[in-house]
Amino acid sequence: AEAWAATERRVEGDVPRTEPGTAFLDAGDGRQRRRLGRLLRLYALKDPGVGYCQGMADLLAALLRVWPEDDVGVFWAFGALVGRLRGQFSAGAADVVPQLSRAAELAGRRDRALARVLRSRGALACPFLFQPVLLLLRRELSLPQTLSFWERYFALQTLHPGLDLRAALGAALLRHYRDDILALPKSKGWGGSGDDFADLVQLFHDLPRPVDIDSFSLDLHEFVADELAEQDAPKGDPENTGEKKE
């Protein structure tokens, strides 16, 4: 009972904050927003191992637009999506965090200047990538772009079922906004300061330009190839994949 009460509180807190002021969710006296809350509660009952975690409302809200009247269809699709992303919605999304650090490593191998900037700002852990990686760019893309990108992402996941794609996703984001990162005000000291880190957080909160999903997807493929090459390389082989850009 106590666990369910906590789930209810999380759902009740997140549903009003999901896409606030959106015509689709708020039209008709908020019928779709109420539907969002009802289906999130239903999923939490069906899958108590996951329950409800922050971010799930964003994903379901996107799917409601695809199935605006079909609760069975959207519930099935949402369950399949969460099944693909199950580890991301464990307590604290602990398995996402190491993938963010890995993203900096992957991007830095191909771009020494970017690696230096992240290191000087004390940002090699890349926590500012947490939201876009967790939600697979849902807040950064329009609905048609989101669905197109998800199709590409899950096709890659199907091709490489043993590979965690989230590090490659984060690395592709770093490359996509590489020039913007390098153009930030000069770091105030080696290892970074609070302001240095805040600049990066602000950059990825208010992206300076839209994500170009075609070029972004090409970058994602490239970093996935790097991950696969590293897996296949003999242990102890010091050779890195990819060229380093100064």
pLDDT digits (tens, 9 = 90+) for 102-161: 999 999 999 999 999 999 999 999 999 999 999 999 999 999 999 999 999 999 999 999
Give the span between the Cα atoms of 75 and 173, in whole angstroms: 30
- Phi–psi pair at 157, nearest 5 degrees: -60, -40
Neighbours of 48 (CB within 10 A): 11
| Whether residue 239 has pLDDT greater than 70 | no
Measured CA to CA, the distance from residue 196 to residue 13 in angstroms comes to 31
- For residue 190, what pLDDT is reported? 55
pLDDT greater than 90 at residue 8:
yes
Calculated CA dihedral for residues 204, 209, 210, 214, nearest 10 degrees: -100
The mean pLDDT of 77-102, rounded to a whole number, is: 86
Contact 167, 223 (CB under 8 A): yes
**135 CB-contact burial (10 Å; exposed 0-12 / middle 13-18 / buried 19+):** buried
Instruction: For CA atoms 104, 18, 55, 150, give the dihedral sign.
Output: negative
Q: What is the mean pLDDT of residues 59-78?
A: 97
Q: What percent of the chain shows pLDDT beyond 70?
A: 91
The SS3 assignment for 206 reads: coil
Average pLDDT, the chain: 90
Label residue 186 by pLDDT band (50, 70, 90).
Answer: confident
pLDDT of residue 162: 87
Secondary structure (3-state) at 165: coil
Does 118 or 90 have the greater pLDDT score? Answer: 118
Query: Of 207, 187, 54, 188, which Cα lies nearest the Cα of 128?
Result: 207
Least confident of 75-89, 168-182, 207-221: 75-89
Encoded tokens for 76: 């099935």
Residue with the two structure tokens 């809350």: 37
Tokens of 30: 């908020």
> Residue 111 in 3-state DSSP?
strand
Angle at 46 between CA 41 and CA 50, to 5 degrees: 80
- The lowest-confidence range among 14-18, 113-117, 185-189, 240-244 is 240-244
Q: How many CB atoms lie within 10 A of CB 186?
A: 9
Average pLDDT on 162-167 reads 93
Contact 222, 154 (CB under 8 A): no
- Contact call for residues 29 and 70 (beta carbons, < 8 A): no
